Structure 1
Amino acid sequence: MTDTRIAWQFTALTFVIAYGISGALIIAARFGYEVNNVVTTVPEFLANVPFSIYILSPAIASYIILRRNRMVAGLGDWLKLVFFARGRPVGYLLVVSALVMYFSLHLLVSGPSVHALPWIMFVLSLPGNLIIGGMEEAGWMTALQPGLDRRWGFVVSSLVVGFIWLLWHIPLFFIPGTNHESGLINFWMFAVQIMAFRFLYGAIFTVSPRNAVFLCILCHTMFNAASFTAGIPPATWAGTIAANAAVVTLAVAAVAVSGRFAERPRGHDSRLRLP
């Protein structure tokens, strides 16, 4: 029952932090507060600390819950778990293939965006997208999805975590200054994307479990940076369906080929292990 207990504790703490902070930000917006997505000065940085805590809530909750349950001895152990990079090359291949497929299909079907930026911005935006985006996976992929996958299997765990992940994102559509609240992101298109990439992250855990956390952080960071650079969104429904269907197909195929598509027996030892 270790996985289930950790999953419940982690999810509860993540939402307490995220919804508490986001609720305060939404109220603060009535007094002129607005999230600025480009941090350029110290005052703006300080103003965005609460928003950063909301975005980092899965990582914060992961460390607290895993340490409380003695799964990690301290911050060093947790960082070792999160940033362990050595693993099967197929994991890196899956990340690159999924991203190339997703953006190629989106651009092919939806057409180029007027919001696209020079590709040097992809590199320059990586550090920011690691913190505001990528580090979410330090929570979902340490304290939630792997445990549910071991208990319920790839398909069910991906659906459940995808739904939780979508609920966690909802406040973004109400916090002034975010791309979500500004109308650049269609909620239902976003929901399709959320579910598709949760299947991808579940597949990454299946094919390369030792460094799955790092691979998912890398994938999430690169996805956000590429979206920012390519100007996606805005997008079309045709592009959304094509790109995300391809991601799900690739994820399912990767799991099937790995020979581990079937659900794991519930009676196995599923304790978290450091690399």
Structure 2
Amino acid sequence: MTNTIEARSTTGTAQQDRRGVRGVITRHPLLTFFTLALGLSWLAWVPYILSPHGMGVWDIHFPEVLGSAQFTGVLPGALLGPLGSAFIVTAVADGRAGLRRWVGRLFRWRVAWYWYALALVVVPALIVLSAVPFAGGDVHAPSALALSALVPGLVIQLFSTGLSEEPGWRDFALPRLQHRFGALGAAAVLGPIWALWHMPLYLSDWGGWPNAHWSEPVVFALFTITFNVVMIQVFNKTGESLPLALLLHVGVNNTISSLFPEMYPSMTAGTLMIGLTIMSTVAAVVLLVVTRGRLGYDPARRALPIDAPIPVPVRKRLVGSHDGNR
């Protein structure tokens, strides 16, 4: 008698949870996340794009921080988008258990030393070398000041670019995409969306507006799509370590911003992206071939997809019991 009553109560609760906005988010967490991530960021970037830092339509000036207005004009939109959307969808769809799992990846820093060497030494070195063929011989050794700026620059990038993006793209979206489509399918979905998210910024000084050539966002998109493959491999092989994903991501940005102005003074942003894209494409192809498209993903690690609700008819539990699968 007790089991029958509890089953009816659970079913009613589940039906109520599936209604309205909460129900839509719970049923479609990935679609909701991508919609919010793009929509919130793009909406927040409108004033910056229309300001003198972009198209010059509105006379709105953003204060500069560390010599750049992008901290006040671009960073808020990044925080609202991937980071804010991941938090909202996780809280609604997965509750406290989901939030603990989401935040937990941020503390998975105990991985083999060579992964840190890859993110902090090998990848930055390859980035520097990728520009040499396109420098026209105008290559200079970095000064002591530029080298000393690497560490503080990395820290700033970690707490701005890294923490605004990676908790969304890699921490929230990637595990769900992989459970649904596998590693190769996840790369095919996440890479283009990650690239698309950046595109409005090409209408601002972030992307070199108004002097950037039309091909520059195309090349950047190709780099983002192929580098995403590298990041998926590292994320999976390090046990879904978000710190490594953060370092790998911001290591690219930090190397370019700290070293390239002195090492390649005559090189344009569009030219340096060509070298980066070629290198990342080669790396992505090699990883896809060597891993046969698996990219370090082991589907046997989890019994159920992260976002898959347990069917209501077989879900019989005591009222107030904790659902550990959410």
Q: Give the TM-score normalised by the residue count of structure 2.
A: 0.67
The one of 269, 280, 283 aligned to 1:244: 280
Deviations 1:234-270 (A, max 9, x none): 5257624531223314543674598856x848x9512
CA RMSD of aligned residues (A): 3.8
Which amino acid is the alignment partner of residue 119 of structure 1?
L
Could you tell me which amino acid in structure 2 is paired with residue 54 of structure 1?
G
Task: Choose the corresponding residue for 1:24, options 47, 67, 71.
Answer: 47
Determine if contact 1:146/1:205 at 8 Å carries over to the other structure: no
Residue identity opposite 2:58 in structure 1:
F
Following the alignment from structure 1 to structure 2, what is the Cα–Cα distance between the partners of residues 254 and 204?
14
TM-aligned CA distance change 1:33 to 1:240, over 3 Å: same
Change (3 A) 1:122 1:237: closer
Answer with 158-167 or 239-248: which moved more.
239-248
Aligned to 1:206: 236
- 1:85 paired residue number: 109
Distance 1:147 1:184 in 2: 35
Unaligned runs of 5+ in 1: none
Q: Which amino acid aligns with 1:226?
A: T
Query: Quick one: which amino acid aligns to residue 246 of structure 2?
Result: I
2:206 matched residue in structure 1:
178
- Does residue 1:39 correspond to 2:69, yes or no? no
**Higher RCO structure (Cα 8 Å, ≥6 apart):** 1
Q: Residue in 2 aligned with 1:68?
A: 92
- C-alpha change, 1:15 and 1:251, in structure 2 (3 Å) is same
Pairing partner for 1:132 from 135, 141, 160:
160
- Counterpart contact for 1:162–1:195, Cα < 8 Å: yes
The equivalent of 1:149 in structure 2 is 178
1:123 maps to 2:123: no
Contact 1:94/1:204, CA 8 A, preserved across alignment: no
Letter aligned with residue 229 of structure 2: F
Percent identity of equivalent pairs: 17
Unaligned runs of 5+ in 2: 1-24, 262-268, 308-323
Assess, with a 3 A threshold, how the Cα gap between structure 1 residues 138 and 33 changes in structure 2: closer, same or farther: same
Q: Which moved more, 1:159-168 or 1:242-251?
A: 242-251
8 A contact 2:111–2:238 mirrored in 1: yes
Q: 1:205 to 1:76 in 2, by over 3 A?
A: closer
Q: Distance in 2 between matches of 1:184 and 1:230?
A: 21
Q: 1:177-232 deviations in whole A, cap 9, x for unaligned? A: 32443546821221121011110111122212341x22111111111100112328
- Assess, with a 3 A threshold, how the Cα gap between structure 1 residues 90 and 147 changes in structure 2: closer, same or farther: farther
Equivalent residue, structure 1, for 2:220: 190
Is the 1:206–1:255 Cα contact (8 Å) retained in structure 2? no
Task: Tell me the equivalent position of 1:270.
Answer: 305
Q: In structure 1, how many angstroms separate the alpha carbons of the residues matched to 2:38 and 2:274?
A: 33
> Does 1:12 pair with 2:35?
yes
In structure 2, C-alpha distance between the alignment counterparts of 1:145 and 1:95, rounded to whole Å: 19
Q: What SS does the corresponding residue of 2:271 show, helix, strand or coil?
A: coil
